[in-house]
Every structure is written in C-alpha cells, then in structure tokens.
C-alpha cells in the first residue's frame, strides 16, 4: 500500500460501498465578481451514498471512509483502474465550483475534431494545462461556443456537468463532481485517441507539470506533494483566495512546502452520518487536486474542497495535501 498518513489523519474501513477580491485559476474575464447567492455548504462534511450513474459506475468492492478537516466540505474519490472499482468514495455526486478543472473539458473539446494543431494554439494549450493559464482557457472556451463546450462534453462522455449560469457565467463556475472527474480521467486514459488523451495527460505528468500557475499561485499542493516517490499527473483548481501571496514564478516542478508560520493545525474528524447533498457553495474558497497516481496510472484520485470564506491559501493547501497523503492507494 502507498500510505502517507499524517498523525492528524484518520481512516476507517466500512463494510459496504459508500460515497460520500477574486483571484486564482478559474477566474476568467467575464463576470466572476458577481455576489454569491448560494447557501454555504455545511461546516461538517459527512459521508453520502453514491447512486449508479454513467459517470460513476457502482462497485461491489468495499469502499473506505476518510476523515475530513473541520469546516471543510469535500468530494473525494479514489478509483482503482486495475480492479475497475472505487476504493474511496465520499460525496462523489456533490457538485463544486470547478475553477480550473473545467480546462480539461475545454482541452478535450478543442482537440476532439482536430488532427493537427497550429504551433501558436499548441503553446496556449500547454500553458492552460501545465500552468493553468486563465487567458488561454478563455480563448478556447470562447472559440468553442462557451457553454456549448460543456454540452458537447456531457453528450460525448455521458456526464451531467452543469454549465455556468447567470449571474456567474464565467467558465470557472461550471459545476462538477468527483464522479465527473473520475469519468474524465478514465476517458483520457482508456478511450481517447492518443492525440487527445496522451497529449493532455502529458502536460499534467510529473516532470512537465509546473510548480507555479501563470497567475502567481503555487499549484504543487495535493497530489504533487503527497506522492513524491511515485509517478503522477495532476490538474489543480483554486478560486477566491484574494489575499493569497501571488509571487510564485518558477516554471519547473517542485514539492510544495508551506511556510511553517503560515500553517494553522488542521483538525481531522471521523465522518459517519449521510446528509442530503448540499447546494454548490459559491461563497467559500474552492481548492481541488485531481489526477492519476502510481505505476501504470493505476489510481485516479479526485479531491474537491470548499473552505470557509477567508481561509488562507497556505492553510487550505496544507489541509488538502494532508488529506491526499492519507488516502490508501494500492501499489
């Protein structure tokens, strides 16, 4: 087992399958400064069951519960490709503001009907994927007809991603779930033509993925820092961290090490009760780490989180990295 648990993380086995201003990647050039009207998600995220769907096939394999930071709402999934089963499911159908995760769908849609890509466009695709560039995302999103991109991806991948709606019409407010992201990675790994799947994943892999986004945020939290000793690929998302230091400039891969003085200890608590799915929280700080971990791309790992409004970037990234490190992955 690949297990990098911290002293604050708790994992417990269960008998049945269970599921559980503005800056950052995901802030495009439309109207993302609109005031939030949605009710904030519960401060005590708990386990919810998964219903069968095209994007998240049911599994007979026993899943596991995960311990979450107090006050943080999360959707967590680990999918073992060799076993063709989920090993961790928590709130996998709960929708979150996508932030930059929607860039995966934008890239797939753009490459779908193109056998070749001009050098200038390829450079922008590279920036959008490996450095989470927002200007490039807006370019390709507009080129694809904006919400028409989401409609085509839903049809082609059999998903129910919710496109942005007024007053939040920017691509970063697309609503996605952990189940949706598992479906996207399974498509890229097992179904997409090489010019689509291998190209996109190639920009996200260890050794190509870059430490800093083009907006100055350190994006090496979560998967890149939690699993340094094994192969991985990662696409990150962050939104609403207006007060975060945006001085990250390195274009090379590096492990995220939060400044000790900036990190507040995060309390992890067991989760047991199964509430109804909460509405999408557009008021809190969104922070996501998603991707593939392990030899032969065995495990698809998705962690979607929303933190109480005002949470420091260093605190949120430390919590998500600890959560990622606590997940049990099959070697």
Each residue's pLDDT tens digit in the chain (331 positions)? 444 333 333 333 232 333 333 456 766 544 443 333 333 333 333 333 333 333 444 443 455 666 788 899 999 999 999 999 999 999 999 999 999 999 999 999 999 989 899 999 999 999 999 999 999 999 999 999 999 999 999 999 999 999 999 999 999 999 999 999 999 999 999 999 999 999 999 999 999 999 999 999 999 999 999 999 999 999 999 998 987 789 998 776 555 444 433 444 555 555 544 557 789 999 999 999 999 999 999 999 999 999 999 999 999 999 999 999 999 898 6
Q: How many CB atoms lie within 10 A of CB 224?
A: 26
What pLDDT shows up at residue 131? Answer: 95
3-state class (DSSP) for residue 224: helix
For residues 77 and 86, is the Cβ–Cβ distance under 8 A? yes
Question: Phi and psi (nearest 5°) for 182?
Answer: -60, -45
Q: How many CB atoms lie within 10 A of CB 74?
A: 26
Q: What is the residue whose two structure tokens read 């007809």?
A: 145
Helix orientation angle between 102-112 and 194-204, rounded to the nearest 10 degrees: 150
Distance of alpha carbon 181 from alpha carbon 74, whole angstroms: 14
Q: Which tokens hold the place of 165? A: 């709606």
What pLDDT shows up at residue 316? Answer: 94
Distance of alpha carbon 45 from alpha carbon 267, whole angstroms: 13
Distance of alpha carbon 176 from alpha carbon 178, whole angstroms: 7
Distances (CA, A) of 193 to 128, 186, 329: 20, 13, 27
Question: Phi and psi (nearest 5°) for 300?
Answer: -95, 125
Q: Which CATH superfamily is domain 11-326 in?
A: DD-peptidase/beta-lactamase superfamily (3.40.710.10)
3-state class (DSSP) for residue 194: helix
The 10 Å CB-count burial string (b at 16+, else e) for 53-73 is: bebbbebeeebbbbbbbebbb
3-state class (DSSP) for residue 204: helix
What pLDDT shows up at residue 74? Answer: 95
What pLDDT shows up at residue 69? Answer: 80
What pLDDT shows up at residue 302? Answer: 98
Distance of alpha carbon 255 from alpha carbon 313, whole angstroms: 16
For residues 284 and 254, is the Cβ–Cβ distance under 8 A? no
What pLDDT shows up at residue 200? Answer: 97
Distances (CA, A) of 215 to 18, 82, 135, 218, 250: 37, 37, 10, 9, 11
């Amino acid at each position: 087992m690949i297990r990098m648990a911290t002293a604050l993380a708790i994992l417990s086995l269960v008998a049945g399958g269970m599921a559980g201003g503005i800056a950052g990647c995901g802030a495009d050039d439309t109207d993302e400064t609109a005031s939030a009207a949605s009710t904030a998600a519960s401060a005590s995220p708990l386990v919810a069951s998964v219903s069968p769907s095209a994007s998240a096939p049911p599994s007979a394999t026993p899943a596991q519960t995960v311990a979450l930071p107090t006050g943080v709402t999360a959707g967590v999934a680990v999918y073992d490709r060799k076993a063709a089963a989920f090993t961790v499911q928590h709130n996998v159908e709960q929708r979150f503001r996508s932030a930059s995760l929607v860039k995966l769908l934008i890239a797939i849609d753009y490459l779908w009907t193109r056998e070749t890509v001009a050098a200038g466009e390829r450079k922008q695709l590279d920036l959008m994927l490996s450095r989470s560039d927002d200007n490039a995302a807006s370019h390709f999103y507009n080129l694809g007809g904006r919400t028409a991109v989401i409609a085509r991806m839903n049809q082609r991948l059999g998903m129910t991603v919710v496109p942005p709606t007024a007053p939040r019409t920017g691509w970063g407010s697309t609503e996605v779930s952990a189940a949706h992201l598992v479906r996207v990675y399974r498509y890229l790994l097992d179904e997409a033509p090489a010019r689509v799947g291998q190209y996109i994943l190639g920009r996200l892999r260890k050794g190509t993925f870059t430490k800093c986004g083009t907006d100055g945020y350190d994006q090496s939290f979560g998967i890149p820092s939690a699993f340094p000793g094994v192969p991985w690929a990662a696409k990150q998302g962050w939104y609403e961290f207006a007060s975060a230091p945006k001085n990250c400039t390195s274009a090379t891969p590096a492990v995220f090490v939060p400044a000790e003085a900036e990190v507040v200890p995060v309390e992890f608590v067991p989760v047991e009760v199964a509430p109804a799915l909460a509405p999408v929280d557009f008021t809190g700080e969104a922070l996501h780490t998603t991707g593939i971990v392990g030899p032969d791309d065995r495990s698809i790992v998705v962690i979607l989180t929303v933190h109480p409004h005002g949470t420091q970037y260093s605190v949120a990234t430390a919590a998500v990295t600890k959560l990622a490190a606590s997940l049990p992955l099959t070697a």
